[in-house]
Amino acid sequence: MTDREHPPLPAPDEQSSGFWSAAADHEFVLARCTHCGRASHPPGVVCAHCLHPDARFEFAPAERGGTVRSWIVIRDSFLPGFEVPYLLVDVELDADPELRLIGRLVDGPAAELQFGDRVTTVFDDIAPGVSVPAFALEGRS
């Protein structure tokens, strides 16, 4: 990240504030429904699994590893603060194989990437006190 303008900042709401607060401290957490115990990302007003109408979620530390399922190199940016090109990966999380997270691959757009490559969650500091999850290839960065 350069000293130029930063990308758009996350806008935490009541359901997601625990995730963003932990990310600011470089902690990877997932929301778990207090009714069924299943993880959701992002958490919603209703649990996506048990459909409890009064869903409550607790954020708990989660495994940082995952498997690359897809990727794309972004060559144009229509928003300020994104240095192009960059590579986004779609990652199946070890913490819950039903969950996927999309994030920047810090190894860069020229990284040799294959379906099934292993990654670990790291964090991009995009503004003071604001970090977003990103990914690094395991054993390569």
Q: Is the pLDDT confidence value at 1 over 70?
A: no
Domains and CATH numbers, the chain: 10-62 (no CATH), 63-141 (2.40.50)
The pLDDT of residue 139 is 84
* Residue 19 main-chain phi, psi, to 5 deg: -65, -50
Report the predicted TM-score, pTM, of the whole model to 2 decimal places.
0.90
Confidence of residue 140 (pLDDT cuts 50, 70, 90): low
Residue 37 near residue 50, CB atoms below 8 Å? no
Confidence of residue 4 (pLDDT cuts 50, 70, 90): low
Span 92-121, pLDDT tens digits: 999 999 999 999 999 999 999 999 999 999
The pLDDT of residue 98 is 92
